[in-house]
Structure 1
Amino acid sequence: MIELSLALVVIAPLLSAVLAGASQNCRVAEFGNLAASAVCFAASLWLVVHVEDSATYLGDYVLFDALGAWTLVCTCTVYLLASIYAVGYMRLLREEEARLPGFYALFSLFAATMISGPLMNNIGVYWIAIELTTLVSTFLVGFERGRESIEAAWKYIIVVSAGISLALLGTVLFYWAGSLVLGPTYAMTWETLRHAAPRMNPALTQMAFLLVLVGYGTKAGLAPMHTWLPDAHSEGPAPVSAMLSGALLNTAMLGVARFLTVMDAASGSRLPRTVLVAFGAFSLLVAALFIVRQQGIKRLMAYSSVEHMGVLALGIGFGGPLAIAAVLYHMLNHSLNKSLMFFGSGNVMRAYGTKDIGAIRGVWGRFPVTGSLWMAGAVAITGAPPFGLFLSELALMRAGFATPNAWAVIVLLALLIVIFIGFLNHFRSMYFGAPGDAACAPAGKSVDISTWMTMPMWLAILPVFVLGVWWPQGLWHFFEGVAADLSGGAR
């Protein structure tokens, strides 16, 4: 049954892509994608419930473990929510209707590449899966064919490809270090590297890790390698932005976590974890500075993604059962919450005909349902109670104080306060600012915010609230298992 579920979760979006490309019918394409996302979500839930010990398939090329299963759940959840939202949102782009089958084909392929990444057991094949996500999503970022979207797509593929090239170089160095111990030919699996790591050359493995950290950190949006992220997230269609932020970044961060386990086995050096914590703290600093002064709605959400990837980097760098539990809890809540925020941004942008925060006023009065859900999401995404991100960040700070990198907890706390004030100040102006505050506020378009565009917002905010008031005990046991797989944290 596990083999069948693993096959379904990858094959369903591939079949959806083929169906969209072959039919060239908008309705067939959108509902085919919606059905594929539902199948992926159901299969991922079954997998995460039934995961026990790590297992490999297809000649050790496919790895099924608790960490990969959890990442799959996050990815498939965002895929389902974004697919529901896309039905309503993409129908608003009437001038692009003839191109919608192509959009859904690419959208399904993008999901398939992200789903494949966490299942790759070979470090070289994992790199290929991450590179494929870049190639497919570039066309989605530039889908609307505006000058800004085309520029964002080019910037995205150039910056991320440069980073991924460094990750490839680091992968080659890891293979070279292993070849000095295991011989010129061996299987490049995560487990093989972990077993060989204590006998590898320490200088070579540390150099290799720094390269893969910068490479996959670029893909994950860690500062200062984040420069592609604000443009790509702000210029792509809202469903694509949700997928980029809520799913893709997790897939890249998973690679960093897996390589860190190799470094833990290689030596007792704290350098890899300290560097990762430093990247996390710097990402929070950059996000705070740009969030306070931001002027575009979706760019505001993009810098929030930089912030939360910084939080994940801190947790992974801290290590230990509590920190890993906080990271995984944060990962799911961020995926849900950030999807909601991009959905709300898409609704407001279409209604007001602008991305400029200064030109948007009276959101609550004009759209009571969307406005209420979006505001709740804004409070939640800043880490305020009673939502899930508050619990995960609180647990992460508790874990961080018990590590040699406790200084980063002080940085985290200070910057979270700055981000809370800056982020909600933008929402204050959009919700309660006087109409005259906007220099040239447009009259706004008559846009039907359909149920397709509000339902996924409900489906996102409800679990974020529930997970904020109740941390299921079963999840804690699951997270303990993941922490054990990741070598129990820092030394």
Structure 2
Amino acid sequence: MVASDLPPLLLLSPLVFALVIFAMPTSGRSARLIELLHLVSIVGTLVLALTTVGYVLSHGTLVTFGDWLMVDPLAAIFVGLIGVVGCLTGFYSIGYIRHDVAHGELTAVKQKLYYGFFNLFLFTMLLVVTANNIVMMWVGIEATTLGSAFLVGIYGKGTSLEAAWKYLIICSVGVAFGLYGTVLTFANASASIDPHQAVLWTSILAHAQDLDPTLVKIAFVFVLIGFGTKAGIFPMHAWLPDAHSEAPSPVSGLLSGVLLKCGLFVIIRYYAVTMKAIGPEFPQSILLVLGVLTVAVSAFLVFVQHDFKRKLAYHSIEHVGLIVIGLGVGGPLGIAAALLHTINHSFTKALLFCGSGNVLQKYGTRDLRSVKGILRTAPVTGLFIMAGALALAGFPPFNVFVSEFMVFAAGLDAGYPKLMILVALLFTITVAALVDIIAHSVLGKAPENMEKSDSSWLSLAPMGVLLALIMVFGVAMPRPVGDILRQATGIVMDQGHATATATPIEHVAAKK
């Protein structure tokens, strides 16, 4: 196998398995075979994703399929996230879906559809982050909506179907604005370069200074509205709390951990073009305003939520806002902080949504007013949820603390002290909401009639791996991750594959 085969194989792996699972019979005897196919698919996708990332780290950007597919260091970050989070939530799905089938929540037919759409969802997200063709990038984002909407509404209840339709309609309308931005960018680039090249992001970036500045601004606004809808940026976030709360918990982890980041990935691609074409002031100003508004709205809404998964959904919106603020602050530290926070939030939120699944199956409800004493009734799950909540709140030595500190340091270094103080005050509200979960739901008094029993190892094992990743990234981030973050930051700032030999923290220290 040659290196150029990696991106096509990465895409084909989940797609082929999804089609095979859809074609499987729905008899009870085939359930274990479907699970096996699903397991082979997610492990194969993980191996191919990590192999692709490793190649990019050691040899540089991978371009294939007539330059339509590309994995550069920026894309490699998101390919790795999809592979890792997709595999772990996919593994968690096996125990979770077995429980739902055994208790009549899902039928054998829906079990098959779940695994088929799960793998199809992985394919659509991989298509987004490996696309060098901006039209294919848009098609991939639209396809993620179609693939995941069925997962959101798979239980067939009134609330889940309403959430699925709301998700489908809002994201389809929102992403239409992304299409306008895509078409404007293509038309703008076609005026100065060959139309066959004007559809490629690499060509557009190389000729960004030849683009019409007015059209660049209009296109960026359309892109921010369109793909910001998928990312959950205020005010395009209305679909997110419903979809995240009604979807099966492993799907919620995938939506929050990876799908939102795919929307951010496309925005970052256009952000790089816009900065090179007209300078950083315009895109960074818009991103800062939207980022702060996103954090502010979610901070006040998260505190009044009693549904565990809706509360986590609003936390997702808040942290997307923080990533957007990091991009808006700009500079090597701001961009590196935003990309690192993308990784850290993905692991943490996947852990907590899986934990919410264990709670739902144990207590039969997501209402935190009725969920008490998790640490006493399900000790391992309680420990995982408590660690995840502390991590999401930004306490050391967990990973989110590192990237949050970097975002605030970047903001202070860029001359936004008042803005960073405001964001820090808003974050205290969400920290209080997370501490409340720990104090009452995790450490509270358990119901007297509830037996002490935890979820199966199939559910706990992937959560243990996620917690290990959270701890590792909080204590000693792996060197390859630091290398690829530097290279990706250089791509966004159009400085080749590395911004400098210094780390982002060292960069700030040197300036001071």
TM-score class, shorter-chain normalisation, is: over 0.9
8 Å Cα contact 2:378/2:454 also seen in 1: no
Length, aligned pairs only = 485
Q: Which residue of 1 aligns with 2:158?
A: 147
Question: What is the alpha-carbon distance in structure 1 between the residues aligned to residue 191 and residue 416 of structure 2?
Answer: 33
1:95-174 to 2 correspondences below 5 Å? 95=104, 96-99=106-109, 100-174=111-185
1:295-340 deviation per Cα after TM superposition (whole angstroms, max 9, x unaligned): 1000011011101111111122222222222222222221111111
* Unpaired stretches in structure 1, ≥5 consecutive residues: 436-440
> Is 1:464 paired with 2:475?
no
Q: Which residue of 2 aligns with 1:31?
A: 36
The one of 43, 47, 61 aligned to 2:48? 43
* Distance change >3 Å, CA 449–CA 472, structure 1 → 2: closer
Q: Which residue of 1 aligns with 2:504?
A: none
Question: What is the alpha-carbon distance in structure 1 between the residues aligned to residue 463 and residue 376 of structure 2?
Answer: 18
Q: Which residue of 2 aligns with 1:223?
A: 234
Residue 402 of structure 1: how far off its partner (Å): 2.2
Question: What is the alpha-carbon distance in structure 1 between the residues aligned to residue 123 and residue 84 of structure 2?
Answer: 13
8 Å Cα contact 1:37/1:80 also seen in 2: yes
Residue 412 of structure 1: how far off its partner (Å): 2.4
Q: Which residue of 1 aligns with 2:13?
A: 12
* Distance change >3 Å, CA 405–CA 271, structure 1 → 2: farther
Question: What is the alpha-carbon distance in structure 1 between the residues aligned to residue 159 and residue 87 of structure 2?
Answer: 28
Q: Percent identity?
A: 35
TM-score by length of 2: 0.91
> Is 1:332 paired with 2:343?
yes
1:76-106 deviation per Cα after TM superposition (whole angstroms, max 9, x unaligned): 1111111111110001112223121111111
Q: Which residue of 2 aligns with 1:22?
A: 23
* Distance change >3 Å, CA 405–CA 267, structure 1 → 2: farther
1:192-248 deviation per Cα after TM superposition (whole angstroms, max 9, x unaligned): 222332222212110110010011111001111111000000000011111101111
RMSD over aligned CA atoms reads: 2.0
1:3-402 to 2 correspondences below 5 Å? 3-24=4-25, 25-51=30-56, 52-94=59-101, 95=104, 96-99=106-109, 100-182=111-193, 186-268=197-279, 270-402=281-413
1:355-406 deviation per Cα after TM superposition (whole angstroms, max 9, x unaligned): 1111111111101111111111110011111101101111121112222555
Identify which range, 147-156 or 276-285, moves more after superposition.
276-285
Paired residue secondary structure (1:145): coil
8 Å Cα contact 2:249/2:353 also seen in 1: yes
Question: What is the alpha-carbon distance in structure 2 between the residues aligned to residue 248 and residue 20 of structure 1?
Answer: 22
1:404-419 to 2 correspondences below 5 Å? 404-419=415-430
1:421-440 to 2 correspondences below 5 Å? 421-434=432-445
Question: What is the alpha-carbon distance in structure 2 between the residues aligned to residue 266 and residue 328 of structure 1?
Answer: 22
Residue 442 of structure 1: how far off its partner (Å): 11
What is the letter of the counterpart of residue 390 of structure 2? V
1:381-434 deviation per Cα after TM superposition (whole angstroms, max 9, x unaligned): 111111011011111211122225554322322222221112221331112345
